[in-house]
């Protein structure tokens, strides 16, 4: 599937932290505008993911997320993955900046809330280690780099998971969230795939 030319971000003579702050503001606006596509973008993302994304076999654990702010909605994708035999999980943030845990998600509107006030499965839902982690963000690039909100939850989580098991990390968003390059710090975790409603990118080997 053809992928449009990404947005070029001109390097700035700023520190990495300052550059990230500027980019967060820019891409938050771009994402909010792109989110006006709503349900159509969510359906298209599911089609692209299932058609051209990583293989998802029955009984594999796929960790999605409950959409927050203007993040692209992955719930249609999660519904289809469940129908194909995947086991679903949602992340739970116990503290801002801490590693996430993943609890089994049975569908519907989750009954609990985490540290970000995002709906999550209750504490009675079992923790399950994921095989595939679907990761939201503000911006992504073709090298698998991601710009998040700055708390580091996913960086810590992916590093911890990769220390004990093989996982596939998939960044999802709108095409408008893709940059030619992003500033990178040593602790920033790379993603294996970037998927938008308009195409897929795999991190170079």
In this structure, what CATH number is given to the domain that contains residue 64?
3.40.50.10420
pLDDT per residue over 114-163, tens digit each? 888 899 999 999 999 999 999 999 999 999 999 999 889 999 999 999 99
Q: Domain for residue 137, yes or no?
A: yes
Asked whether the beta carbons of 142 and 6 are under 8 A apart, the reply is yes
Q: What is the mean predicted confidence (pLDDT) over 164-170?
A: 97
82 pLDDT exceeds 90? yes
- 104-109's contacts with Cβ under 8 Å and 24+ in sequence apart are 104/128, 105/64, 105/78, 107/79, 107/82
For tokens 């249609």, the residue is 76
Q: Domain for residue 3, yes or no?
A: no
Q: What is the mean predicted confidence (pLDDT) over 189-197?
A: 97
Q: Domain for residue 2, yes or no?
A: no
Beta-carbon-side half-sphere exposure of residue 104 (alpha carbons within 13 Å): 11
Residues in Cβ contact with 36 at an 8 Å cutoff, skipping those fewer than 6 apart: none
Q: Domain for residue 8, yes or no?
A: no
Question: Which of 53-67, 82-96, 161-175 bottoms out in mean pLDDT, i.e. has the lowest?
Answer: 82-96
Q: Alpha helices of the chain — where are they, by DSSP H?
A: 16-34, 38-52, 75-83, 153-162
Mean residue pLDDT of the chain comes to 92
Q: Domain for residue 10, yes or no?
A: no
Q: Which two tokens stand for residue 186?
A: 């040593």
- Calculate what percentage of the chain has a pLDDT beyond 90: 80
User: How many beta carbons lie within 10 A of that of residue 121, not counting itself?
Assistant: 23
Q: Domain for residue 134, yes or no?
A: yes
Structural domain including 110 reads: 16-202
Q: Domain for residue 21, yes or no?
A: yes
What is the number of structural domains in the chain?
Answer: 1
Q: Domain for residue 198, yes or no?
A: yes
Q: What pTM did the predictor assign?
A: 0.90
User: How far apart are the C-alpha atoms of 86 and 5, rounded to whole Å?
Assistant: 33
66 pLDDT exceeds 70? yes
pLDDT value, residue 13:
37
């Amino acid at each position: 599937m053809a992928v449009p030319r990404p947005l070029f971000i001109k390097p700035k003579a700023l520190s990495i932290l300052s550059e990230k702050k500027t980019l967060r503001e820019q891409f938050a606006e771009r994402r909010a505008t792109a989110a006006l596509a709503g349900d159509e973008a969510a359906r298209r993302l599911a089609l692209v993911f299932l058609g051209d994304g990583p293989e998802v076999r029955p009984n594999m654990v796929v960790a999605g997320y409950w959409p927050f702010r203007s993040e692209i909605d992955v719930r249609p994708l999660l519904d289809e993955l469940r129908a194909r035999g995947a086991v679903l999980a949602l992340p739970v943030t116990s503290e801002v900046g801490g590693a996430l845990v993943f609890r089994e998600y049975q569908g519907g509107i989750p009954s609990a809330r985490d540290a970000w006030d995002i709906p999550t499965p209750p504490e009675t839902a079992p923790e399950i280690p994921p095989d595939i982690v679907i990761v939201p963000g503000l911006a992504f690039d073709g090298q698998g780099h991601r710009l998040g909100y700055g708390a580091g939850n996913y960086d810590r989580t992916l590093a911890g998971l990769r220390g004990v098991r093989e996982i596939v990390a998939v960044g999802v968003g709108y095409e408008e969230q893709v940059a030619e390059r992003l500033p990178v710090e040593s602790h920033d975790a790379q993603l294996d795939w970037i998927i938008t409603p308009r195409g897929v990118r795999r991190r170079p080997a």
